[in-house]
Amino acid sequence: MSKELNDNFKKKMGFAPAIMNIAADMDPKMLAFYKFCDETIQDDSALPSKYKMLLIMVMGAQRHCKECVVSAMRGAYKKGATEAEILDAIRCVAVAGGAPAISACRDALEMLRDKKFEGTC
């Protein structure tokens, strides 16, 4: 992945998901896709970026993807989402997706509880 795009993700989210580097290195066309993602998700527009990240977190939970939930939660927190906003989004996960979806939030909840947002996804 380009150093510029990698640095942009680190600056905006606090980390760059490892899969981005692997995919872009293996398929240069993925770089254009990640630039599109960066512009669409990472920048404020009609929706502030922190809310876009919370939406992505909820979608990840509905797909039962723990890594998706952790990654998006970390990004939302870095972008200014409060603990209350994150917990409110996770309550919506519980209502819409039940036990299977909320179980995908376990690691993210532990990170939030312990205020330990380091690590890779």
Domains of the chain, CATH where assigned:
3-42 (no CATH), 49-114 (1.20.1290.10)
- Pairwise pLDDT comparison (89 vs 10), residue with the higher score: 89
Sequence-distant (6+) residues with CB within 8 A of 86 are 54, 57, 73, 76, 77, 108, 112
Burial class (CB in 10 A: 0-12, 13-18, 19+), 80: exposed
What is residue 2's three-state secondary structure?
A: coil
AA identity, residue 31 = L
pLDDT, residue 120, reads 54
pLDDT (mean) for 104-116: 94
The string of pLDDT tens digits covering residues 31-42 is 888 889 888 998
Confidence (pTM): 0.82
CB 41 within 8 A of CB 49: yes
The string of pLDDT tens digits covering residues 46-84 is 999 999 999 999 999 999 999 999 999 999 999 999 999
